[in-house]
């Protein structure tokens, strides 16, 4: 892993109300949950890295996905500024996956390299029809937000920098990758949508992790969950409001 210590700062660019079973497989029917769309700013050893880049604007979401609210301070550029981040100074952007609520706003990061898993890029271009909309895939008539992005494609686990490793983590999508980050407080793992809430990690009454509802292969997803538990000292979920209770991790 290496000895460089990083800090991790979550930045929210929306508040969405959805039905709870979408995030907590088979549980919470008839109840809603409020969730942010998160970017994570990772800084350490002179490097500045963004993990995911947020979603489209509310008008687009209302037309093609689900309506959500965005306060003025949740505008991506303003939210980054408030967190002390200058997007032009970002060295690397990591796309955990290519769903529409994680890969917008690339144009803000004018000097960054962009990294994604090869499998994710390929799958996003031709997903199962059930997932066409969430990828804004060509069959929907939409052009994905990253159409003008020149990605560096990765195949599996990847040492991104000293103390920062990308873990190939198929589950929520076939080509997910999740950063494992060395900090002064141990190894943090950004689970993204593999664990949208802390509730997924806490598990069910039998002590087993609870997946979200969106996945292609439940067996693979479960293996990824178990590997995450082995690797990480701390896990940050992808859509939990409680992540924002702390300004910085590590």
**Residue 185 backbone phi and psi in degrees, to 5:** -110, 20
Tell me the per-residue interface mask from 172 to 211 with Zn ion, x by CB under 5 A, - otherwise. Answer: ---------------------x------------------
Distance between CA 130 and CA 40 in Å, rounded?
28
Q: CA torsion 190→36→96→166, rounded to 10°?
A: -10
Distance between CA 158 and CA 69 in Å, rounded?
36
Q: Are 35 and 104 in contact (CB under 8 A)?
A: no
Q: Does 99 bind Zn ion (CB under 5 A)?
A: yes
Query: What is the nearest approach in angstroms of Zn ion to the Cβ of residue 176?
Result: 8
Q: Are 114 and 104 in contact (CB under 8 A)?
A: no
Q: Does 52 bind Zn ion (CB under 5 A)?
A: no
Distance between CA 57 and CA 121 in Å, rounded?
23
- Which range touches Zn ion (CB under 5 A), out of 83-91, 97-105, 111-119, 161-169? 97-105
Query: What is the nearest approach in angstroms of Zn ion to the Cβ of residue 207?
Result: 26
Q: Does 120 bind Zn ion (CB under 5 A)?
A: no
Q: Which residue lies nearest Zn ion, judged by its C-beta?
A: 99
Q: Which is nearer to Zn ion, 80 or 214 (CB)?
A: 214
Query: What is the nearest approach in angstroms of Zn ion to the Cβ of residue 224?
Result: 14
List residues binding Zn ion (CB under 5 A).
99, 193
């Amino acid at each position: 892993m290496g000895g460089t210590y990083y800090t991790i700062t979550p930045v929210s660019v929306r508040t969405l109300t959805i039905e709870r079973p979408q995030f907590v497989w088979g549980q919470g029917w008839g109840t809603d949950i409020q969730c942010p769309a998160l970017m994570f700013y990772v800084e350490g050893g002179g490097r500045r890295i963004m993990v995911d880049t947020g979603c489209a604007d509310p008008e687009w979401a209302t037309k093609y996905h689900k309506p959500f609210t965005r306060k003025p301070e949740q505008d991506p550029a303003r939210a980054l500024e408030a967190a002390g981040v200058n997007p032009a100074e970002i060295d690397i952007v990591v796309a955990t996956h290519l769903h529409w609520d994680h890969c917008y706003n690339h144009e803000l990061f004018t000097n960054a390299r962009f990294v994604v898993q090869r499998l994710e890029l390929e799958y996003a271009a031709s997903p199962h029809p059930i997932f066409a909309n969430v990828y804004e895939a060509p069959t929907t008539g939409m052009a994905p937000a990253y159409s003008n992005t020149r990605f560096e494609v990765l195949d599996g686990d990847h040492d991104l920098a000293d103390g920062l490793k990308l873990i190939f983590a198929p589950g929520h999508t076939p080509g997910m990758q999740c950063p494992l980050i060395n900090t002064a407080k141990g190894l943090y793992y950004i689970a993204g949508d593999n664990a949208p809430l802390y509730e997924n990690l806490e598990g069910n009454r039998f002590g087993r992790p609870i997946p979200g509802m969106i996945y292609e292969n439940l067996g693979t997803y479960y293996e990824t969950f178990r590997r995450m538990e082995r690797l990480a000292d701390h896990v940050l979920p992808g859509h939990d409001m409680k992540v924002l209770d702390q300004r910085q991790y590590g």
